[in-house]
Structure formats: C-alpha cells, structure tokens
Amino acid sequence: MTPTRLPAWQALAAHHATAQSFRLKDLFRQDPQRFARFSLSLDDLLLDASKHLVSAETMSLLTALAEQARLPAQIEAMFRGDKINATEGRAALHTALRGDTGARVDGEPVAPRVQGVLRKMRALAEGVRDGGIAGQTGRRFTHVVNIGIGGSDLGPLMACEALRPYADGRLTCRFVSNVDGAHLATALEGLDPETTLILAASKTFTTQETLANARSARQWLTASLGEAAVARHFVALSANYAEAARFGIPAERVLEFWDWVGGRYSLWSAIGCSVALYIGMDRFEEMLAGARSMDQHFRTAPPERNLPVVLGLLGIWNTNFLGAESRAVLPYDQRLARFPAYLQQLEMESNGKRVARDGTPLDYATSPVVWGEPGTNGQHAFFQLLHQGTQLIPADFIAAARSPYALDGHHELLLSNFFAQSEALMLGKDEAQVRAELQAQGLGEAAIAALLPHKVFPGNRPSTSILFRELNPRTLGLLIALYEHKVFVEGAIWNINSFDQWGVELGKALAGKILPELSGPQPATGHDASTNGLINHYKRLR
C-alpha cells in the first residue's frame, strides 16, 4: 500500500491548492463555531485543533485517507497481538501492560504474565517504601538510582519529574543514562551506599552504556559493603535472568518485561519501577488506568472524533502537504520539562524511516524533527523563529488548568502566555497594525518605513492546544498514550514499521570496533581520513 497512490491522498494534493489560500483569521470569522467543531475531549483532557490550516473538507479527506489506508484494521492488528513489527518478528503490545486482558502472543494470553510482574513490582515498591525491604546493613533505602538509556531512562525520568507533587519524600530518585562518567559520578555524589537501591534497566542486560554504568555503580557499592551487598542493593529490570544472575542479582530481584515491549514504549512495564517506588504503586496504576482509557478511546471512537487519529492526521497534513519539517512541543508546565525529549525518541525513533514495510524506498516525507522546551522559557529563546522565521513549524501547546504550587499569581501569568502565544501565532500583526502603532508613538514616515518590515508578524502559523484540569498520574497516562497512538496513526498511513529502530545499530557497531583502538599506542589507520585523524589527535591530547 503506497499512500501517495490512494484516491484520498491525490484528492488532498489537489485540495492543497485551495488550502494555500487559507487564513486562520478568515476561517474563524467565517465560522463562529469553529472552536467547537475542531475540539475533541476525553475525560477532562481537551484537544483544540481549530488553529490548524484545515477546513471541514480537509478533515473529511484526511479521514478518508485513514480509511483507505486501512487504519482501523491496523489498529485492531496491534491490539490483537499480531506481529506488526515484521523486521523483528514481534508484536507491539505495550497496550497489554495497561490492562488489555484480551491480548495474545503466539496464541497465549499475556495478561497473566503482566499481572505477575505488577504484583512483584507492588511487593518491591511497598517493601522498600515501608522499610520492610532494606539494605545490607538493615538501614532503610532513601535513594533510588535508575541506570538505563533511551526508553529505560527517558520514560521514568520524565514521569518522576512530572509527578513530583505525588511523591511523599520517602525516596529520592536519580537517573543515569550517559556513559560519560560525569553522569554516574554526579548521580552517586553524596549518596550513602548503605541506603541506596540501584535499578539496572536493560531488556537484554547487555546494553553497552547501561552495563558500563552498572558495573561502575557495583564497584562503588562493593567497595563499601562487599560483594554480598549486590543481591540486596541491585534490582534488574530485564528479560535476561541469566545475565542478571552473573552480575550478582538473584531471580527474585529481577522484574521481567518482554520482546513485544519496545524500549520507547516500556514505561508501563517493569521499567516504570522507579516511578512506582517514587510515588507508590497505587499512583503508578492510576497512570496505567489513564493510558488504558486512551487505548479504549483509540480503539472504539469514530475517526473524526478520535483524539489520536485526528492528531495523527494533522501531522500527515502538516508534513506531507504543507511541507513542515519540524514540530515544536511546548509544555507550559515545568514538571513536563522532559516531555519534549520523551517525544523526540517516541516519534523520531518510531517514524524516522526511509523505506516502506516491504523495503522499498519512500518518495514522501515521514517523521518531522521534534523539539521543544517549557514555556515561558522558550519564549525568550526560539519563539522568534516560530513567529517570524521562514519555516512553517506547527506547535503543540500543553497546559494544566490547576497547579499544586500555590504561589500567588504565578499560574495565571503562565497560562496567560499559554493562551496568548497560540493566538499570536495564528493572528500575527499586519503592516496596517504596525504602522498605526508606530504613528501613535510619534515616529516620522522615514523611521516607520525603516522599522515596519521588522515588526510585521505573518501569523497563520498552525498549533494544537491541549488543556486538562491538573497534571496527575491519570492525566499523564492519557497524555502519553495520546502521543503513542498518534505516532502509530502516522506510521500506519506512511506504510512504515514504527516499531523497529535499525538506525541505532550502525554507530554502535562501529564504536565497538573503535574502542580497542583507543587504548593502544599504534595510530589508527583502518578508517576514513577524518576518523583516523580524530582518533589520533585524541591520543595525542590524552
């Protein structure tokens, strides 16, 4: 299935000629009910798509595209447990981690295995938090260090920061991902080995960066407490019991997850152990429940009222028809500071592909570059580009109506910017408005002529606004699952495999060849001239 050959795609290409004349100001003026028509909600989460460069006809054609691309059937295949990750021969069943009891892999139900791990997680989290599970010397754990990389780091780190108000102070979590020794050394700084629990998060328990950090953390621990402490102070989040045992971690301290859980979708699995330790297992299960609610909505809601489907279709429109090559994610909530980075992996590792499912090269764009920072910081950094740059960059604005931090006037000031920035991107400021402002300041015609082009804002920049009552575990689950399924929608229409990530392998393989060359005295000669030169210059500097 080549999407560009579908009738709806070709109709959208023809429709684009009309859409090029769309002005958001005019669309709102022509339809006073536009906000109501283009807004969707689930629970208390509202998604406002009215500030996109689309009409009712655009959305109708996009919905037809989804139908012609067999999106409903592809959604069912994922939930059913079909091996939709064809290049690795795996299912993609992260939804089963959230309570989909009907999912099966190779004919076997997965729910009993999922529930077994959740029970094991609960026993560990409650034992550590209550002091029943203690360290080698009998002292309670006060700190958790999560060692992982990619999804084994970005997911739990993002969730712990987002849900900080729900932590009760019993445990402090630190995260280590980078093999740069500075990351581990900084994370362990000031910690007492007697009261530190270390989570080694790697599905295979062979991930190079994670194992290097875990071994160094092991040395730090055993230097103080001896080898016997490893079994009490380490937990493995892994499918590889044998490698964990060789490391010194017994089976009862291994929390399993499976090859049908992709790393960037693994927060819902044992990888979320740090979150359960930090905020308690009950709160972690509230996050699962929020995601499960979005799963059910995604599976059953009609396409035109389906939040992930609409968000994904807008992504297709912006990328493939309006030519947007990047998208900004702008959470107006400091607790979501790591959410843009989380979505970077989710979207670009999933959909940053150049071939279709059958291996044929693509002649159309796939994933845009995803980036962003919290508002209002971004307003003083890159919003200049959003407002007056030469590129069309759609933006996602995300905010909570309530804040747990009762600092007088702060949240209202934050939200005034949240509302104003999407409005400013839409409206812009034309020459007549700028001229009137400059004349009101008393400037002469020469000064006005010089300043006027610099103060014009083109406007007509598309954005999505997502607003919910408060950022709690359930809402975070809803929000993450919304974007997970949005990525699936885009990948399904682009006819790519959103669940493999072969692009990360080549650099790792070459690093493995280079590593032994860095310690020997002989100059490097087996690479291109640039790489040889860099390695040899490193040796001289060392």
Which helix (H) or strand (E) is 69 found in, with range? none
Q: Which of 249, 247, 221, 500 is nearest to 351 (CA)?
A: 500
DSSP code of residue 141 = P
Partners of residue 361 on adjacent β-strands:
355
Query: From start to end of 170-280, where are the E strands?
Result: 172-176, 196-201, 234-237, 254-255
Residue 304's pLDDT is what? 96
pTM of the model: 0.96
Strands 463-468, 45-48: pairing kind: antiparallel
- CB atoms under 10 Å from CB of 155, counted, come to 28
What are 498's two structure tokens?
């959103």
Check if the beta carbon of residue 494 is closer than 8 Å to that of residue 357: no
Q: List the domain boundaries for the chain.
A: 3-68+301-427+461-500, 104-285, 505-541
Q: Which CATH code for domain 104-285?
A: 3.40.50.10490
Nearest-angstrom CA–CA distance, 8 and 313 = 12
CATH topology match: 3-68+301-427+461-500 vs 104-285: yes
Q: In the chain, how long is the greatest CA-to-CA distance?
A: 82
Nearest-angstrom CA–CA distance, 433 and 448 = 12
Nearest-angstrom CA–CA distance, 243 and 247 = 6
DSSP code of residue 318 = I
Residue 380: active-site member: yes
Residue 508: active-site member: yes
Nearest-angstrom CA–CA distance, 202 and 214 = 10
Task: Please count the residues of the chain.
Answer: 542
For tokens 């023809």, the residue is 14
Residue 521's pLDDT is what? 87
Give CATH superfamily name and number for 3-68+301-427+461-500: Glucose-6-phosphate isomerase like protein; domain 1 (3.40.50.10490)
* Three-state secondary structure readout of 345-395: HHHHHHHCCCECCCCCECCCCCCCEEECCCCCHHHHCCHHHHHHCCCCCCE
For the chain, count helices (H), then strands (E).
23, 13
CA distances from 303 to 62, 74, 269, 366, 401 (A): 10, 13, 29, 21, 27
Question: Which residue in 243, 349, 484, 490 is the catalytic one?
Answer: 349
Residue 15: active-site member: no
Q: Which of 66, 64, 65, 95 is nearest to 78 (CA)?
A: 95
What are 426's two structure tokens?
């839409």
Task: Compute the Cα dihedral for 224, 230, 236, 240 and give only its sign.
Answer: positive
Nearest-angstrom CA–CA distance, 397 and 436 = 31
Question: Which residue in 108, 431, 508, 513 is the catalytic one?
Answer: 508
Amino acid found at 16: H
What are 179's two structure tokens?
């093999």
In terms of CATH architecture, what is 505-541?
Orthogonal Bundle (1.10)
Residue 375's pLDDT is what? 95
Amino acid found at 313: L
Residuewise pLDDT in 10s, the chain (542 residues): 899 999 999 999 999 999 999 999 999 999 999 999 999 999 999 999 999 999 999 999 999 999 999 999 999 999 999 999 999 999 999 999 998 778 889 889 999 999 999 999 999 999 999 999 999 999 999 999 999 999 999 999 999 999 999 999 999 999 999 999 999 999 999 999 999 999 999 988 988 999 999 999 999 999 999 999 999 999 999 999 999 999 999 999 999 999 899 999 999 999 999 999 999 999 999 999 999 999 999 999 999 999 999 999 999 999 999 999 999 999 999 999 999 999 999 999 999 999 999 999 999 999 999 999 999 999 999 999 999 999 999 999 999 999 999 899 999 999 999 999 999 999 999 999 999 999 999 999 999 999 999 999 999 999 999 999 999 999 999 999 999 999 999 999 999 999 999 998 888 889 989 999 998 889 999 999 999 999 999 999 98
Nearest-angstrom CA–CA distance, 402 and 399 = 9
What are 448's two structure tokens?
């006005």
